[in-house]
Structure 1
Amino acid sequence: MTAGFNLRSLGPMVGAAVLPAGMLILVGLMVIPVSPLILDISFVANIMVSLAILMVALSAAKPLDFSSFPTVLLLATLFRLALNVASTRVVLVHGHEGTASAGHVIEAFGQVLIGGDYVVGLFVFVVLMIINMVVITKGAGRVSEVSARFTLDALPGKQMAIDADLNAGLLSPEEAKARRVEVATEADFYGSMDGASKFVKGDAIAGLLILFVNIVGGLILGIFSHGLSFSEAGATYVTLAIGDALVAQIPALLLSIAAASIVTRVTSPLNLSDQIGSQFASPQVWMAVGAILFILGLVPAMPQMLVLPAAAIALGLGWHLKRAAAEIAAAPEPVAAAPDPHHIDWADVSDASACQLEIGYALVALVDERKGAPLMGRITGIRKQLSKELGFVVPAVKVSDDLSLPGNVYRISVAGVIVGEDEVYPNEMLALDSGDLVTKVAGRACKDPTFGLDALWISKALQNDAIAAGYTVVDPATVVATHLNNSIVGSASDLFGIDDAQALIDNLKIHYPQLAQNLSPQNYALPRIASLCKSLLIERVPLRDFRKIAEAMVSLASQQLGEADLVEAVRQRIGALIVQTIVPSRMPLPVVTFSPEIEMLLNQAVRANPGAEWPFEHGMAMKIIGEVGQAVEPLLLQTRSFALVASPICRSALSRLVRATFPDVAVISYLEIPATKATEIVATIGGEVPRLTRDENAQMEDELHEN
């Protein structure tokens, strides 16, 4: 067991030592004389490595699939230059012994590939150098330079696009992180390729200089050191020099092609061969090519025995591609396998949709795209508008039909809880009683699903008559959309979670990095930030100006407040934001206040039960709700904007009490009203304890003292 463990632990160490060992071998080839056999093995390995690099470059779907290419290109170039140095030493030292003195690979390239004529070999090498340097290397270098410049210029925009998609809910935090890493890697890659292209160009120039050194040095040594004639020295040393240059130049040409193919790639799910094949698979292209070749073949001066068969091949290929495309189009759609009735998937027992709208079969026309889907367009608009108003991305609403519902019934669910259910009639209109009717119209009496107003379902033929009579007439899609809008606003806190809190912080980091750094995780954990945001949303305080909320939290961090106290303290610091959601900035704030006696009683109840969710005794709570109802119901019927103002001590508990009956009534404290904001008292609740008898009042005071 110990031995096995040691062997496995040596694996990473051996892998980490390969690259340094390879660099030492490269240096050794440059300074230590090697035998011709080692040279032959190294030349073959060089060709093999170059071919492998070319194959990987051609099979990559996008440039980043071969992100190590710049480093690999550097190492391959160093390997080839080290072989050039080693082969130059062998050629100059042992070249007088014959063409086999530098190894069989150089001899083969020097005799077989150039046909035994070193002058021809010299021209072949010059042509390869021109192709490599002037065409491939120069073009690849220019593409690398432009790509690096454009990629670096586009980097800030790509980062902002990722952040925008993250804030819009199109990406998860993990996906956004992976996209940021990919964008940064892409910028590094093209920047490295811009420099790596200089390796290829420098390698080509070095090959030309090494050829000149081998020829001139060989002639000098052969004539003056070894007593060879000029022709003998030229035949031997020039052949060896050209063979050595070609052995190095062919792998260099392969690497240049690999570099050019990498930097000219366009991102695609296919590799290069499949991508080219799919784009040349058009039958019209080959039909046109065949027709043009056929016309050229009819020209008397053309070699018709070559041109006409080529035209026939092109026409045949086009006909074959056209027939294959027709067969694919006529093929029947694959029949999906019937689901196993005994198989239960997670989708059958859970639903990831936070908002759901279920409709009966008679309401399917409201979401049918063939009939314009009037409801779907309104739902999309509601989601966008609420996302702006609430300050976080409202999740998509899943609309589905439910055969268990009656035909005209719809049901709204938020976070798995049914928050609204009613019925609409798709072929009728809803006429709302405005309270100032000229006359009555015939219809089916009902209540407005959203606000509970008196209304009638009337036929579409009576729409104009109802409008003339003073009714407000709306279509069924608007009724459902308005109910959905109000349900989402009332349940916004259930839609907000830790991921949404993280999205707010990430967006804060972009524009206010120091504020975000001091907010989380330095002073507040992410769950606590999410909890505070949910508490604000419960009382319909939007998060669209999260910067001010974050500043308030940071300023309160040193006080070590509890959850409830932190919410109240933050509310006092963002009072201007809260007030502007109730009334425009230039208008005075209409307020409903409590008499001093009632407010004192409320404060005493909270002090007697600190931290209690419901500190008010039941009888007292019912009487307070009754008095609040008498004061606010006329204002609600007039659709007036106002706030119920109370002491900071009892505001939170009073808000919970009032919210259960009057969810649209905002309860704020005196400290949340800015000093510069004018107020207007529109009602006062009670001049005494809310209609309590003397005995009931004494009993409550006794209970408070006992507690």
Structure 2
Amino acid sequence: MKKTDLAVGLYLLAAIMFLIVPIPSLLLDIMLAMNIAIALIVLFNSLFSREVLNMASFPTILLFTTIFRVSLNVSSTKLIITTGEPGNVVETFGNFVGAGDPIVGIIVFIILLLVQFLVINKGSERVAEVTARFTLDAMPGKQMAIDADLNTGAITDAQARERREKIQEESTFFGSMDGATKYVKGDAIAGLIITLINFAGGMAMGVLRQGMGMAEAFEKFSILTIGDGLVSQIPALLISLSTGILVTKVSKDTDTGDLLLKQLFSIPKVMYMVGGSLIFLGIATPLNDLVFCAYGVVFIICGRAIASKMEVEAIEEMATMEESSGDEIRKPENVVSLLQVDPIELEFGYGIIPLADFNQGGDLLDRVVLIRRQVALELGCVVPIIRLRDNIQLNPNQYVIKIKGVPVSEGEILFDHYMAMNPGYVEEEITGIPTFEPSFHLPAIWITESQRERAESVGYTVVDPPSIIATHLTEIIRGHIHELLTRQDVQNLINNVQEANGTLITELVPKLLGVGEIQKVLQNLLKEGISIRDLITIFETLADYASTTRDTDVLTEYVRQSLKRAISNKYFPVSETTSVVTLDPKIEQEIMGSVKQTEQGAYLALDPEKTKGIMQSVEEEVQKLENIGKSPIVITSPIVRMYFKKLTQDYFKDLIVISYNEIESNVELQSVGMVTV
């Protein structure tokens, strides 16, 4: 049997024996002093514990100390009634605390009882009840947050298991505390009843058995009764105060003895304060100085021993940490991991966690997989892994999209609402919360589930929150996919083509172009939304023209002309006439005259006033197309296209610039204006 188990067993056994076997007054003094010491230990541990789980055994401690205190109360009652000599502690509390006056003692006792019963006990009971309720209500949300972190890879299975166990312990602890506070309330009531019994029984025994007069019996037994009440109620008050401290700030898988002693005797300053308090009581009051000073010295020695042990452990831990830190620093892979940046991140507030939690019916993770598949089919480029993680610094309903660690866009949704957008022809208005669609910044309205069917029936486009986030994320990826295409990605694409077209790759790489130059061409295509799925056509075109020029911008134009079927199919439906804007030949001549050739490539040196005039004209013509609901498309000659696109890309992000050589012969165009100055 462990010493801790033996100590706890003897503590409980003593409490039971005191209820049965009469004990001498000296032993009662020792036990009462011990009861005060334990109450102080519990109080200071509750005060200095950093979290409630450090006192997870408190409900058990509360039960043990209550039964021990009640047993001492019964023993003192026996001595008061039978001999009238309950010992030094009871007499001292009656005379010293009550100033030797029964009336003063009664008043002090009543005040102490009222403070404990009406103030501390009642408040602690209410706080414990409310805390238990809120802890249980918060469990599903905490479990959901753990599942979300686990699904996104933010934590491991072991960490998730540890967090779930902690949540379970907290719920168990506060549930136990809700019931354990009833011990404190019952103890206060029992103390009052026992005090009344002591007084009545003592008076009866003094008058009937010991031949005392009423005045003499009242003088003696009132002081002893008040002393007995105070010596039991003061530790009860300390325990009640500890309860209040703990529930306003759950169980471990270990032996109760180890758990109690580890949690009660682990803070040196607690031992110092308890020891000092007991020595002070032994010296400054008529209490038994030998007992109290002995207890005080013992606790101070224990505190010093604990502190020495902790100092040794701290030094050993520090040495271990320094050694392990040195080993970690010497590992180059650890430094590299600190430098890694996720290509795409989606961070969201805790209010959006259910959308990403599969267990809560969320399908955002599945939608992310579909986004990568969709972009691969549309643009022929593999999207990097999209990292999903929650961020408590964001608003609950806010989300942020990051590219290479830098926020590029954000949005906010209402979890239990739907976004309704007017396509332009719906005249009937519906009530809701005005907002803007995050992907295209179109005006919209948040509506409830009950309004969804009616909004759809009158013609509104209704979208649920996961679709809003998925659409926004898709558009951001499309707009930045050229930044995400790395040389390694290009090499992987080359390797895929090489399996069936070895001759083509052997001719092109690295004899004519390097991987970096091919990357620039592919990035130029992706930047303007041109798919690179047809890699064979792209690589063959590069192989044809790379011998004459290695200018990646010029090579991009040759590739675009080779992909004219795909470009025409993307922008010009065969079954209808497409409205476009053309470019004045005079402006084309001015642009070409302003092109300066350097070793690093060509650039425009156009007069600022001329540039401003061209941009104003482009804005006017683009507005014409937008007014009739058409995409802004400008048609230019092949040699001017790339320069005009560079000129306008900072002013008109969505402007589509296409050369005549990129249009199929069967496409029907209608010019609605001309960019001129």
Bin for the TM-score computed over the shorter chain: 0.3 to 0.5
**TM-score, normalising length from structure 1?**
0.46
